[in-house]
Amino acid sequence: MAQSLQDIRRRIRSVQNMERVTAAMKMVSASKLRRSQERAQAARPYAQKMRDVLANVSGNVEDFSHPLLDHRTVRTSAILLVTADRGLAGAYNANIIRAGEAFLRGRPNASLVAVGRKGRDHFRKRGYPILAEFVAIGDDATWDLARRIGDEVMRIYRQGEADEISLGYAQFLNAIQSRPTVTPLLPLSQGGGNASRGRPYIFEPDAAAVLTRLLPHYVYTLVFRALLEAKASEHGARMAAMDNASKNAREVIDHLTLVRNRVRQAAITKEIAEIVGGANALTG
């Protein structure tokens, strides 16, 4: 009985240590979430404005062709899928991977550009073709990373390795909720946007040259926004997961404490019964 009581105490200490770790991880994720959320929300109007400017400029260009605007017959597809490098984030990675699998199953000759170790490892084990991979991206999305990813994606499209490329990421909604999103990335569309056509622009040197500079920058912007949204969603999911883990640890501690008290009470009762029985035997 004493050994069982010692095991219970040891297990309580172990769960208490685990609770301290999960509580600390929750606080770290909460601090990272605040900054990531601000950056993700700030990037949304910039991306929308870039889309409007691109629509306005393209409206002033006639007979303009560019490799990023080249709509081809779709024989091969690819998806740029943004996942996390680490786990302990609840269902965050599983939801994004599930959306990526749905895309790959529904496209002919589909392949993957993996951002994040979790997505890369999942699809590599299942034999999906991976055109490029970006791992160890850190806790903060950077513009340099978005440029490197954007350059690789545009190279894949220009060289014909994929006739269409989509972008899959977790759209940040709030601290505890995100939405897996898959949107077209390449080829770009000249139309779209809410800006009105026909605004008086003066182009230097000309509209085609301006559009040639804008198109790659717009791809970088879309990738950068997806990285920011994904990082905010990841930190929010990890914060919620660590909060749930801390609550579960406290419930386990309460249960083990109750079991410990019962074991102690049973041990004391047994000892008292043995003492009383011995005393009665001596008296008799």
Residue-wise pLDDT for 134-193, tens only, equals 998 888 889 999 999 999 999 999 998 999 999 999 999 888 889 999 999 998 876 544
Q: Which pLDDT band holds residue 284 (cuts at 50, 70, 90)? A: low
Residue-wise pLDDT for 223-279, tens only, equals 999 999 999 999 999 999 999 999 999 999 999 999 888 888 888 888 888 787 777
- Segment 65-81 shows an average pLDDT of 87
What is the predicted pLDDT for the residue at 60? 66
Domain 2-22+242-283 has CATH 3.40.309.10: no
CATH superfamily assigned to domain 35-239? ATP synthase, F1 complex, gamma subunit (3.40.1380.10)
Residue-wise pLDDT for 19-66, tens only, equals 999 999 999 988 889 888 889 888 889 888 888 878 777 766 666 777
Residue extents of the structural domains in the chain:
2-22+242-283, 35-239
What is the predicted pLDDT for the residue at 196? 45
Return phi, psi of residue 186, to 5°.
-130, 140
